[in-house]
Chains A and B, each alone.
Chain A
Amino acid sequence: MIQDLFADYIAVLIAAILGILLVGGALMGNYILAPRQASRAKSLTYECGMLPIGRSRTQVHFRYYLFAILFLIFDIEAVFLFPWAVVFLDIGKAAFYEMLFFMLILGFGLLYAWKKGVLSWR
């Protein structure tokens, strides 16, 4: 069993290494084949043909942050749902009602966010 699991996840490791080699190989091929002639104009960032004004390390609007928090909540719910979805029938009705209660609490949170206007991208 442990051996099987080991054999399975060796493939994941190999895939990760091969993926890195694939991208790295393409970049290496480009490094060998492509011409290189640096100039100041080429190494400027694109800004509609004008000279770029200032750096672009600006602040990001607050609403992105709110959606990130909402995402965290519901993604963690999804993580809880995955094991539950496979075994809840073996445990019985209590497992279903517990998860229903959990989902209702989070659903109530979603309604609260909705009412506060968080979901409407203002």
Chain B
Amino acid sequence: MIADNPWLDGLVRMGIIALAMPLAVIILTYVERKISGRMQQRLGPMRVGPYGLFQGLADTIKLLTKEDLRPQTADRWTFELAPFVVVVPVFLAFVTLPFTADLFVRNLGLGLFFIIAVSGVSIVGFVMAGWGSDNKYALLGGARAAAQLISYEIPLVLAVVAVAMIAYTPEAGRGSLNLVEIVDGQGRVPFIVWQPLAFFIFLVAGLAELYRQPFDIPVAESEVVGGPFIEYSGIRWSMFQMAEFVSMVLISVLAALLFLGGWNWPLGNGAGIALQIPLILVKTSFFILLFIWLRFSLPRLRIDQMMQFCWQVLLPFALLQIIINGWVLVYGWPDWTLGVSSGALTLVAGYLTYRAARQAAEEPVSPRLHRVGSVL
């Protein structure tokens, strides 16, 4: 506790997060633009400050002083409340996200469940933005966002449940939803070894929840010109951008905590905060860089491929992972059976995806002319 009063303590801790959040977004935007520049054989931002370091600051000032437009026909309250509904849930998720064993705002007993429950609310914001804008592209993007985000939420949640099942604490045995306990339970071996399938599902579904390439179907520029955010300008638009980058941090930290052992592996729990913070920072940056790398390496999926992959590959395999975990734990089989079965299932899932992708590449789908008349 920083202060004895829980109100003051919570205010100070959340205040630090509230200040760090826009800063992290500015830094990440710069990093992403620099990396994209290098990957496309150009320099990226170079003009503002040394190596363009102050580009993010300049962009913030520009966005802050830009005229805020609202279409006359837009639904006023839906349009104006949408940024709040998108940003606030992401912010709320940080209440219980631990960065090290002692560095968190609050260690909620049901932390993992809280994060999953709260971050799902953002979807409503995208639909509100799409509907409120009174724009055909926005409506289409909002509907797409709803379909994609709710579909990929299920494999994401099930992968998280699989991890919660095998989390081990000395006092209560297997099963925990507390993030600190989950991380402390993976002292010697991180959960990616026991649950490679859950890790794979979490990573893919997490990427889809961020609606970044190759899952940027709701906001695809060449299809729906920015999707739900098309009518937003200036700082109002940047709120959505902030939510996107902050959720990227959230998913990355969560992946590092759940599957790579967070601050615990490989140094152990007594390493001290001076080593634990760099460790979690490295693991988080690994996922963030992976997401940025994927963005500039993969083409966009088609919406039917994206939905089929979720419901026909990820969801059945996520259910299988939970059933197998339950089976192994109930009969008390040794831990390596978890890793071997999950690894084998990962290979099967990978093979099925590969085969489906090959088939799709060989047989071009004939255009269905009877659908031309439909807007959506």
B304–A121 CB distance below 8 A: yes
Contact between chains at B11 and A14 (CB < 8 Å): yes
Q: What is the number of residues of chain B that contact chain A, defined by CB distance less than 8 Å?
A: 88
Does any Cβ of B come within 8 Å of A33's Cβ? yes
For window 44-102 of chain A, which residues contact chain B by CB distance below 8 Å? Answer: 44-47, 52, 55-61, 64, 67-68, 70-71, 74-75, 78, 81-82, 85-90, 92-93, 96, 99-100
For window 14-36 of A, CB contacts with B under 8 Å fall at: 14-16, 18-20, 22-24, 26-27, 29-31, 33-36
Mask: chain B, 130-144; 1 = CB below 8 Å from A; 0 = not = 000111111100010
Residues in B neighbouring A6, C-beta threshold 8 A: 6
B164 vs chain A, min Cβ distance (A): 5
| Residues of chain A lying within 8 A (CB to CB) of residue B106 | 7-8, 11-12
Per DSSP, chain A at the interface is helix
Chain A hits for B151, CB < 8 A? 67, 71
B19: min CB distance to chain A, Å: 10
A15 touches which of B83, B92, B176 (Cβ 8 Å): B92
Q: Do B105 and A81 have beta carbons less than 8 Å apart?
A: no
Alpha-carbon distance A36/B146, docked complex (angstroms): 33
With contact pairs A22-B91, A43-B69, A43-B72 given, residues A56 and B154 touching in the complex (Cβ less than 8 Å):
no
Interface 9-mer from B187-195, B258-266, B310-318, B336-344:
B310-318
Which of the residues A45, A60, A71, A87 comes within 8 Å of B175, measured between beta carbons?
A: A87
- Interface flags, B110-146, vs A, CB<8A=1, else 0: 0001100000000000000000011111110001001
Most B C-beta atoms less than 10 A away, residue of A71, A74, A75, A87: A74
In the complex, A33 Cα to B315 Cα: how many Å? 48
A-B CB pair tally, cutoff 8 Å: 224
Query: Is B91 a contact partner of A15 (Cβ separation < 8 A)?
Result: yes
Least CB distance, A116 to chain B, in whole angstroms? 12
Complex CA–CA separation, A23 to B87 (angstroms): 8
Find chain A residues with CB under 8 A from B108 CB. 8
- Chain A residues with CB under 8 Å of B88's CB are 16, 19-20, 23
A11 touches B95 (CB 8 A): yes
A56, B239: Cβ atoms under 8 Å?
no
Q: Give B contacts to A, CB under 8 Å.
A: 6-7, 9-11, 13-15, 17-18, 21, 63-74, 83-84, 87-88, 91-92, 94-95, 105-109, 113-114, 133-139, 143, 146-147, 150-151, 153-154, 157-158, 161, 164-165, 173-177, 225, 230-231, 234-236, 238-239, 303-304, 307-308, 311-312, 315-316, 319, 322-323, 326-327, 329-330, 374-376
Q: Could you give 18 example pairs across A and B, Cβ below 8 Å?
A: A8-B108, A12-B95, A16-B92, A20-B88, A35-B67, A45-B135, A46-B135, A47-B136, A52-B135, A55-B73, A58-B139, A60-B376, A61-B374, A67-B151, A89-B329, A89-B330, A96-B326, A120-B307
